[in-house]
Structures are given as structure tokens and as C-alpha cells.
Chains A and B, each alone.
Chain A
Amino acid sequence: MLRRRVIPCLDVADGRVVKGTRFVDLKDEGDPPELAERYAREGADELVYLDISAAPEGRGTLLDIVERTARRAFIPLTVGGGVRSVDDMRAVLRAGADKVSLNTRAVEEPELVRRCAARFGSQAVVVAIDARRVQPSDAIPSGFEVVVKGGRQPVGLDAVAWALRAVDLGAGELLVTSIDRDGTGSGFDTEQLRAISSAVPVPVIASGGAGGPDDFIAAVREGGADAVLAAGIFHRREWSIAAVKAAMAAAGLPVRLPREAAEA
């Protein structure tokens, strides 16, 4: 049976893991490949690097850490942030990443999704959708509006309609973040997740709001998510990936457990 995935996300700037409320008050948290390897050992099913380098020089450094990560952690790696073209995507994949995630750029230029999927396959293209709750309207019938630029700029686009369009353009997975919940630890927006996961055939990755194992369970059960992504609770070591997966397994969800645990 297909497992529900637990995916730690590492914010990376200029070659280092950083944390902070996205983009402000960044603190250096160490060497990305080292942390990635630790997460892989603890049972991470995949890894996501979100590149938030301010300067363009950060790009070369990112490719270097992708390559070093791919040599140490033999699990799938997705890179988001700063991929602006098919050439950027090629460079990231050649360094050893398996997928790229397109967010603001996909909204600005939807055809980029199609070109990337046509060139590298849908399985390598994740479209990241950041959304917030609004009053349902003719323009936003679902009541979930797409926002870009790290959650700062609403674009007047319905998140469910954009999800369907992204899949049509060739997205193989959707990474759905609730901007209202991101960084709050108050749980995922399961209604937003359900609105999107029930509308599309592709896997949906839940993001934004993880505070504890119960939130991961709710994202899958109530939100219909195939995978659940979190950053802060793993970085701050509030919960280990193993503890989250054990709780999901105890709740009856199919997860990949370490061999020792599986045989116990």
C-alpha cells in the first residue's frame, strides 16, 4: 500500500540552513547536507530545499549543496525557490535533485510549467500553491486565494482553479501551503487541503501549520493529503520524524517505518 510521506523542508540561504519566519530574522542552522542526512536516517521520505538566497551568487552555492546532498542522502530531493527557467531546472536536476518546485514563477508564467514538464516529465515538476482564506466571491468561489512572493501578494486567483490548471499544464504534484497557518503551529488548513485534493488526481503535499503529530494525521485524514511537509517542528527538535511517523502508524495510517520498527 502506498505510504503517506513525511517531508522535512530546509530553508537554505547562501549555502547554509537558516530558520526564522520566512525571509526575516534568519539564523544560521548549519550545513544542509549534514542535516539532510540526519533527516534521512530518522526516516524522512523525501527532502525539500527552499532556496531563499537574497543574492544571485547563492545559486551556485545551492547547486553545490544539492550535489553534496544527493551523494549522502539517497532519498528524493526537491528544490524550490529561484528556479526561473528550463535552464535553471536542468542545472538543479543535473546537480542531483529529482524535482523542482515552481511557485511565483508558475503564476507569472504558467507556460513555464508546461515547458518544464514537457522537457523533464511531470514527475519532476511540483507546483507550489500558497493560499489564504478570503470571503468566497465570483472571482474566488472556493474562498481560497492564491498569494505569491512568499505569501505577501494576493493575485486574485482561486486556489482550486489554479490547482486544476497547474495539473493540466503538467504538474505531477502540488505543494499546498496555508499562508494563514504557516509558522503558527496551529495545524494545517484541512478544509483548504480537502478542497484541492478532492479536485485533482495528482498527489497533494500539505504544508503550513504543523505543530505536532495530530496535525499530520489530520492533514491526511481530513485534508486528503498524500504527504505532509514541515520545517520548524523538526528543526527545533520539538518532534522527531520517527515520533511523527510512529504516531501516524498508531492512528492506522500507512507509513514507511525503519526496518527494526517494522520487524518488531
Chain B
Amino acid sequence: MSALPEGVRVPVAVVDYGAGNLVSIEQALDAAGAVTHRAERADQIGDPALLVVPGVGASAPAMQRLRAGGFEPAILDWVAAGRPFLGICLGLQLLFETSDEDEARTLGILRGHTVRLDGAPTLPHIGWNQVERRRHHRAFAGIAPDADFYFVHSYAGAPDDEDVVVAETEHGARFTSAVASGNLLGVQFHPERSGADGLRLIANVVRVAGEVG
């Protein structure tokens, strides 16, 4: 799956801020050719090739814990430096300016807001749904343009800037399910729980980070 030489593992830091369990993302990264470590405080990030912010749950307590761990400036600096970044689910939503969920002020790296899924027949939106690509992105190399991925959420980021939209998904209404800007990628679905295509996406992200980093 990876173009890296046999046995070369890409160092990845996973931000551990108490929002959901990290085991499945670590296992998937491991299967995709990474070697992971957890950062419980910003000074434990070290110098990885890729920074991953996972997470499920509400924005306000998550931001509180990110700030308590000193992660807010660290993530802003990391992304500003153009270094490879992957946000998953809540880790994507936190990239926007605010969240409607609890009026939280979030990281503000991307312009736009996290809003409740409008007109959804069921909430939370749980299960496999099609991720329909709006433009090419190397993270999706080798993955069908409308492949199914696993979702678990009730809110989603709504970017102001159309250019960052990589993919959309429909559940009652359309919402943005993947965004990218430079070396930053954010996905609303859970690639670590999306079978072979999910592992392929993670392997693509890890490989590119290994080349960039």
C-alpha cells in the first residue's frame, strides 16, 4: 500500500485530549505504515511527520482540554508552517471558527462554522455513506470517487471558502465531508473504521507526510 521502502515507518503524533478513544486510529495508522505516539501536552508532540487530531463529542469541552494541554498555539503554528495535518471528525470541526453546538470558539484555521445537520432523517448520522469527491486530492488516490466511509456525528463544518471543499455527502441535505488546504486534510468520516478504503486513505496520508516531512 505504501511506496516507502520496506520497514521504514513514518512518525506520527496523535493528540490525546480526552475526546474519544485513540486505539482504533492508532491501530489503523500502525497498519498503514506509521509509528505513533500520543501527545497529552503540546510539548510531547515532538517532531513527527504528521500531526493527527481525532476526536468525537462536543466542541466546548474539547477546546477547553486542547487549551489546557497547550495545544491551541501548537496546532496553529504547526498548520501555519505548512506541515502535514489530519483532523478526523471533531478534529475537523475544531478547525473552523465557531461551533453552533455549544457556541464554542474553535481554532479558526478555516473560515466557516460548524453547524447541525439540517433536515437529516435520523440523528446522529451513523453508518456508511458515500463520500462524493468535488476535486482531486492525493489522499483519495486509488479510491472510487463516491466510495463509502463510516460516519458518526450530528454536526459538520460548513466552510466559507468553496476552494477547501474536497468532498460532500448527503444525509437529508448535503454537507462537506472532506476539506483540504495545503498539507492540511480534514475528514468528517472515520477512515480508521472504514474498512479497506479507510486504510488506503490513511496510508496515502502517511506516505505523503513521509515524503513531505
Contact = CB atoms under 8 A, between A and B. Distances in A.
Contact of B126 (A75, A96, A120, A123): A123
B194 A74 contact: yes
B4 interface: no
B78 interface: no
Contacts, number: 96
Interface string B111-129: 0000000000111111111
Interface string A250-264: 000000100100110
B82 interface: no
B192 A74 contact: yes
A2 B150 contact: no
B28 interface: yes
Contacts of B20: 120-121, 124
B24 A98 contact: yes
Interface residues of B, number: 36
B128 A226 contact: no
Secondary structure at chain B's binding surface: helix, strand, loop or mixed? mixed
B152 A96 contact: no
Contacts of A226: 122, 126-127
Nearest to A76: B193
Interface string A1-27: 111110000000000000000000000
The 3 closest A-B pairs by CB, nearest first: A3-B128, A123-B152, A121-B57
Given A120-B20, A123-B56, A75 B193 contact: yes
B77 interface: no
Q: How large, as a class, is the contact surface on chain A?
A: 20 to 34
Interface string B89-129: 00000000000000000000000000000000111111111
Contacts of B197: 259
A150 interface: no
A45 interface: yes
B54 to A, nearest CB: 12
A3 B129 CA distance: 6
A203 B56 contact: no
B23 A2 contact: no
Contacts of B24: 70, 74, 96, 98
Contacts of A76: 150, 152, 193
B170 interface: yes
A95 interface: yes
Contacts of B124: 122-123, 172, 202-203
28 contacts: A1-B130, A1-B170, A2-B121, A2-B129, A2-B171, A5-B127, A70-B27, A71-B27, A74-B27, A74-B28, A74-B192, A74-B193, A74-B196, A74-B198, A75-B195, A94-B23, A96-B21, A98-B193, A120-B57, A121-B56, A123-B124, A201-B123, A202-B123, A202-B124, A203-B124, A203-B126, A226-B127, A259-B197
